[in-house]
Structure 1
Amino acid sequence: MNFLNDLSLSQIVTRLAGYLIVVTIHGLTVAGLATFLGDRDPAQAGRLTINPIPHVSFPGLIAAILFQPSWMRPLALEPGVMRGGRLALVLVYAVGLAVILAVVPLLMPLRVWLSTLLTGTAAVSVLGVIDAAQRLGIWFVLLNALPLPALTGSLLLQAAYPASIDRIRRAELPAMLIFLVVLGTGWFENALSPLQLGLGRLLMN
């Protein structure tokens, strides 16, 4: 696993910052929409906030820094109290990921404006964070689109199998550890790199 040697301090810092941006936007979107649909749990869990800390998954953070694909701290939603029931979970899933895809191109004007405003080390640092947030955002969507425990895609599992919601949630920690192992092999990135590059060109050009 020579990726540890390949990472510079600058890459670690920019990926860390980029991850915080992505999970904060995604976590707040998911929590906000679920609350709008009638679920009070996100507010009680402290997830209706722009503070990134409640949204951070420590294994997800490690994944973002080392491999780029990542996830946020899982948020337990209750379809039984949400308008639309199980369909509400599908809506939260779709909107949560769509917002991240929308943010990627929206960062381009900010990047252009800051490039004319900042100079030297400040410019390199800030533009590096924006670039990392864009790349990590695309990888975040590609991974979390999968209907697997611990990912945003687990909402699809919960919608399809409501009787198994508790089992799906109990599988979150083991799933995160498995994700780290799989990402460490490089298989996921290698398999989806063409799609990631294609989305990048589509959204950022």
Structure 2
Amino acid sequence: MNFLNDLSLSQIMTRLVGYLIVVLVHGFALAGLATLFGDRDAAHSGRLTLNPLPHVSLPGLVAAILFQPSWMRPLPIEDRALRGGRLGLVVLYIASLAVVLAIVPILTPVRIWLSTLLTGTAAVSVLGTIDAAQRLGLWFVLLNALPLPGLTGSLLLQAAYPPVMPQVRRLELPAMLIFLVILGTGAFQSAFSPLQSSLVRLLMN
């Protein structure tokens, strides 16, 4: 995959900003839901914020720019503090990813409206960023739906067997590096491209 030669500076910038938008939406939604369900740690750790930087994972940012599928910095959630306990974890998993999916079609009329107002370089930059955020959002959901360390899907592991979480959290960084290698081969993108293309047609057109 000759991804470095294929990327222009404008693509790098739009993907960078698009990634910040996606992790802000997802991170704030997950932290907000965790707080609503009774776990105050997310708020105390500074994750209940509209500043995207606390949600950024450096490996996830690299993945977004180079490959598009990405992830945010993991947010530890205490299942014993949640209303609904382990079932609450499943609700948080589904709802926080659903919020990202919901943002994708919402951005489409915004993109269309702005295309009638902007011209020249401003139009290219702004519309490209919105398009990148939508596509990155779809890839983000597809990757983070997987129940793996370092991803939002690890909430499913915690819901299934909470005592496994110390080991899962120790594996987060190695798992992220492995994700980068797998994404670099294009295997994940090839496997999930049909589903991603279907979501693009459904939610972006």
1:59-87 residue CA offsets vs partner (Å, 9 max, x unmatched)? 00000000000000000000001100011
Name the structure 2 match of 1:191.
191
State the secondary structure of the residue aligned to 2:150: coil
C-alpha separation between the residues in 2 aligned to 1:135 and 1:87? 30
Name the structure 2 match of 1:134.
134
Question: Is 1:148 the counterpart of 2:165 in the alignment?
Answer: no
C-alpha separation between the residues in 1 aligned to 2:168 and 2:86? 15
Name the structure 2 match of 1:11.
11
Q: Provide TM-score, normalisation by structure 1.
A: 0.99
Name the structure 1 match of 2:21.
21
Give the C-alpha shift of residue 204 in structure 1.
1.3
Question: Is 1:83 the counterpart of 2:72 in the alignment?
Answer: no
Give the C-alpha shift of residue 161 in structure 1.
1.0
Output aligned runs, 1:45-84, within 5 Å.
45-84=45-84
Output aligned runs, 1:164-183, within 5 Å.
164-183=164-183
Name the structure 1 match of 2:30.
30
Structure 1 consecutive aligned stretches of length 4 or more whose deviation exceeds 3 Å: none
User: Between Structure 1 and Structure 2, how many residues are aligned?
Assistant: 205
C-alpha separation between the residues in 2 aligned to 1:40 and 1:141? 25
- Gaps of at least 5 residues in structure 2 are none
Give the C-alpha shift of residue 94 in structure 1.
0.2
Aligned-pair identity in percent equals: 75
Question: What code does the residue aligned with 2:197 have?
Answer: L
Give the C-alpha shift of residue 38 in structure 1.
0.5
Give the C-alpha shift of residue 203 in structure 1.
0.7
C-alpha separation between the residues in 1 aligned to 2:179 and 2:8? 23
- Gaps of at least 5 residues in structure 1 are none
Cα-Cα RMSD: 0.7
Q: Provide TM-score, normalisation by structure 2.
A: 0.99
Question: What code does the residue aligned with 1:55 have?
Answer: H
Name the structure 2 match of 1:120.
120
Question: What code does the residue aligned with 1:68 have?
Answer: Q
Name the structure 2 match of 1:102.
102
Name the structure 2 match of 1:162.
162
